[in-house]
Chain A
Amino acid sequence: MTYDVPIAPGETGDLAETTGTSGRGWPMWEVFVRARRGISHVHIGSLHAPDARTALQNARDVYTRRGEGVSVWVVPSSEISAFEPEAAAEYVEANEKVYRLATTYDIPDEVGQM
């Protein structure tokens, strides 16, 4: 199936034109989960929340629904400093979100068989 739902004849092709501010101003948090003892915390995604308590509740609800997650950390995205050696210098200056981390996942075997 496609999520690239086509532009119908007569509609504008404008992509991602936004019409206002996001309004809420809730900071973004990065979520790290340690799924079980013996392994390390892994960056698993991000979410918006007004404070740490809410961020933790939301992270628990969203990222540990299947019972995974012995330990959940949330960190304000703005608190993360990053080192990106390969990023082009001029792009690093233009991109304010250099704190977003790059993580790698191994694709599980089962996905290959689907």
Chain B
Amino acid sequence: MTPEERFDAIVAAEDKIEPSDWMPEGYRKTLIRQIAQHAHSEIIGMQPEGNWITRAPSLHRKAILMAKVQDEAGHGLYLYSAAETLGVERDQLQQLLHEGKHKYSSIFNYPTLSWADMGAIGWLVDGAAITNQVMLTRCSYGPYARAMVRICKEESFHQRQGYELLIRLCNGSEQQKAMAQDALDRWWWPSLMMFGPHDTDSPHTEQSMEWKIKRVSNDELRQQFVDMTVPQADYLGLRIPDPELRWNKRRGHYDFGEIDWEEFWNVVKGNGPMNRDRIAHKTRAWEEGAWVREAATAHADKSRSAA
């Protein structure tokens, strides 16, 4: 058996490719980029939510939000570790992020402008993540699949707390209800954009599906998300900002309107409302912390030579 044949056989058998296995260079590079971008998404995602920690309206909500953001940092770490099994180092991946060569989920390029945004992000963004997660636990690359299992275990609380936050608002004052509706109005379409372009406009999809990195197409995942989320919006008494949204009995799915692809590509290209701010924030924290990391290294070196 050639290494290629062995690789293909393992993937075809729904078995896992492990770090010491031969793999096509394209497989390795695609995975590095995807796992790294997943990790970057977790890390950048700490910013929009971190924005409301000091202003959380109650101590209970403050604690929940802090814990959620900590989870996200931890998820980033698990994912960077998984990416490192492919022969790169975390600092290199971060460098690519800082230089704009690596991206992160575009949803985080929008600002969190009200407390209700914390609910919308938990409900919609983490909801979208969940539709993706089961798929990723079936990814052919072992370390990524295992990191996803660990993340899955921790993720369910994220979506529940966001949705519960909105239940409170929707059962509250007129002002609170209006805050919730406004948040949905601003986060709905960006949430649909998280699933990426139509499959017909997504050149990598076919190869990623063959390699079992991607198990379900963009459009299928997006449809799954809409079908799951619309009844949840109905329960909240909130209106989804899509005049074309309606149940299609024949298809057994919701029909929905077309995404504004100009906005989509604008944000992907770096021209969304917060792209520059998110990277500047990340880069600043990194640069301002350089002396701390150097101190830790210097101290460890001294201790080692003294030993």
Direct A/B contact, Cβ within 8 angstroms = yes
Q: Which residue in chain B gives the minimum CB-CB distance to A11? A: B269
Q: What is the CA–CA distance of A47 and B96 in the complex, to the nearest angstrom?
A: 19
Contact of A54 among B21, B90, B225, B296 (CB under 8 A): B296
Complex contact A4–B196 (CB within 8 A): yes
Complex contact A4–B70 (CB within 8 A): no
Give B302 Cβ to nearest chain A Cβ, in Å. Answer: 10
Q: What is the CA–CA distance of A100 and B143 in the complex, to the nearest angstrom?
A: 10
Give B175 Cβ to nearest chain A Cβ, in Å. Answer: 31
Contact residues of A: prevailing secondary structure: loop
Known: A28-B84, A102-B19, A107-B137. A88 touches B195 (CB 8 A): no
Complex contact B194–A2 (CB within 8 A): yes
Contact residues of B: prevailing secondary structure: helix
Could you show 27 A-B contacts with beta carbons less than 8 Å apart? A1-B105, A1-B128, A1-B131, A3-B35, A3-B38, A5-B37, A5-B104, A6-B196, A14-B101, A15-B29, A15-B33, A19-B99, A22-B90, A24-B293, A24-B297, A45-B147, A51-B300, A66-B154, A88-B6, A88-B21, A95-B87, A97-B85, A102-B18, A102-B142, A105-B146, A108-B152, A114-B133
- On A, residues with C-beta under 8 Å from B are 1-6, 8-11, 14-26, 28, 44-48, 50-51, 54, 62, 65-66, 82, 84, 86-88, 90-92, 95, 97-98, 100, 102-103, 105, 107-108, 110-112, 114
- On B, residues with C-beta under 8 Å from A are 3, 6, 18-22, 29-30, 32-38, 41, 70-71, 74, 77-78, 81, 84-85, 87-93, 95-96, 99, 101, 103-107, 125, 128-134, 137, 142, 146-147, 149-150, 152-154, 156, 194-197, 202, 204, 208, 214, 218, 221, 225, 265, 268-269, 293, 296-297, 299-301, 303-304
